[in-house]
Amino acid sequence: MDRRVSSELDTSSKSKFEGIRGRMAHSPRYPWLVLATALFGLFTVGFTITILAISVPRMAEEFNSVEATITWVVTGPMLAFAVVGPATGKLADIYGQRRMYLIGLGGAGIFAAFTAMAWDPASLISFRILSATMGAACGPASMAMINKLFTREQRVQAMGYWSLVMAGGPVIGAVAGGPVVEAFGWRWIFIAQVPVVLIGFLVSFVLLPEGDTVERVRFDFAGSMLLGSSSAAALLALNRGPIMGWSHPLVVAGFVYLPVGLVLFFSRQRRIDYPLVPLEYLRRRNFTFPIITQMLTNFAYMGGFMLTPLLLQDVLAYGEARTSVVSIARPLLFAIAGPVAGAVAIRVGERSSAVFGVIIIVLSMVGLAQVSPGISDIYIMAALGLSGIGMGAVSPSMAASIANAVDERDLGVAGATQQMMSQTAAVVGIQLLQTVQSTRVDSVGLVSSYSHAYLFGGFISALAIFSALMIRSTKDARAIDTEALALKPIAAPVGR
């Protein structure tokens, strides 16, 4: 086959796919089809997290390592997302959300295959981080595509379904994965992930909208490096502190570099024409306070997410399969609560939904603090389920509030900023709750050490009540529009 014939076939195939997308784009159901397609792709990337959390002890034993190191198969990908999230969101805004989504999905699948072949802790963690780095492009890109297709009022409902999939993935992973890991080993999780990602890639290639690209806009590589390196340095210092000692030069350097890097980052963002994160958005209460609320709640939610399997296995002597069954309650109720809360928030407003969710998360942390040997599985599942309900109420409302607070051209970077801060808080929560637990063992005993860690998480999440109360609901459109008009318009250079 010569080049001309090959080129004609490629053009014909491309036109065929564009024709399919064009016909579907005129259907009133197209936004929901895009939502389903994008979220299926996200599911293929994220359904492994629950299995990895409950498999940490097994992997540590297989690689003759310690649990604190193997925990990085979960916290490492979160850190990777926090570091590269804003960059991928901005690249999606510039070069097209569909393109970045497909690149991220394909890369995540490739490194999932490498993860299945990991030979030591370093290779395992490295492949997981690389997979997450590629997959980080999927979240902001898909969120931007979805928010562009839905009205301001419908976005909170769409984000409810987003929460369903983001939480439902771990549910399916836990149901299917626990017994699989126990019977065949954790590697089969990633072997199974590869064909699922491939299916998601093909469906997304056919159905997702092309989107717009922006000419003559420079990507802020220096700003991306400053933000990413300062976040990474602090989180690595936080993780290594309990192991290397808080006075170790590398740990101290990591904490010192954080404020320095952030000052340099914000200084640069004020000077350049095309900032990575438009700083004017920080003045908008429906941008800043939803991010703070998500950070504080995700701190407790994900801190408890990693702490609970260790409690169940180390204190209550549960196996992986039983741990999986008990742990299902949290993501299952998250998946159910997300769409319900999204629909309810349209009526009661994002602020009321968020305040309710925060209170439920606090109650969950208090409930988990009471777990001890002899307690029933039903009680543990109820306490975990409260966390799921709480985050299901918080997440859709906060995501919609942030999307409604920014210009459409910045939906990608806004979503990435939101997820970066949320993932950063998750990593910090995981590390600090584990640090509290480990440092309290000698003085209060093993069972009480876990109780102290949960109560600490509950205290931090309770602070989110104050930030949630500062949010204005989208239904109060007049108040939001008045606030937006009072702000200095965001500069939009010619060609953007």
Task: Give Cα separations from 230 to 261, 421, 426 (angstroms).
Answer: 5, 13, 17
Task: Give Cα separations from 400 to 153, 161, 293 (angstroms).
Answer: 9, 12, 13
pLDDT at 43: 80
Tokens representing 15 are 């036109």
Q: What does the H/E/C string look like for 365-389?
A: HHHHCCCCCCCCHHHHHHHHHHHHH
pLDDT at 440: 86
Alpha-carbon torsion 221, 225, 231, 232, what sign?
positive
Task: Give Cα separations from 310 to 67, 83, 222, 437 (angstroms).
Answer: 9, 27, 40, 11
Separation CA 351–CA 20 (nearest Å): 40
* Contact between residue 293 and residue 272 where contact means Cβ atoms under 8 Å apart: no
- b/e per residue 369-381 (b: at least 16 CB within 10 A): bebeeeeeeeebb
Consecutive 10-residue averages of pLDDT for the chain (496 residues) = 44 53 64 82 72 74 79 74 70 78 88 89 87 78 78 74 66 64 80 87 81 61 78 78 80 88 85 75 86 91 85 84 80 80 78 91 94 89 91 85 79 73 81 86 87 93 92 63 46 37
Tokens representing 4 are 């001309």
Instruction: Delimit the domains of the chain by residue range.
Output: 29-219+274-486, 220-273
pLDDT at 10: 44
Instruction: Quickly count: other Cβ atoms within 10 Å of residue 288's Cβ.
Output: 17
pLDDT at 383: 92
* Contact between residue 364 and residue 185 where contact means Cβ atoms under 8 Å apart: no
DSSP state of 398: H
- b/e per residue 150-171 (b: at least 16 CB within 10 A): beeebbbbbbbbbbbbbbbbbb
pLDDT at 475: 62
Q: Following CA atoms 367, 372, 375, 380 in sequence, which dihedral angle do they give, to the nearest 10 degrees?
A: 40
Tokens representing 285 are 């209460």
Spell out the residues 6+ positions from residue 61 whose beta carbon is closer than 8 angstroms to its own.
none
**CA angle, 273 as apex, 220 and 279 as ends, to 5°?**
80
pLDDT at 490: 41
Architecture of domain 29-219+274-486: Up-down Bundle (1.20)
pLDDT at 455: 94
- What percentage of the chain's residues is helix, strand, coil (to nearest 5)? 80, 0, 20
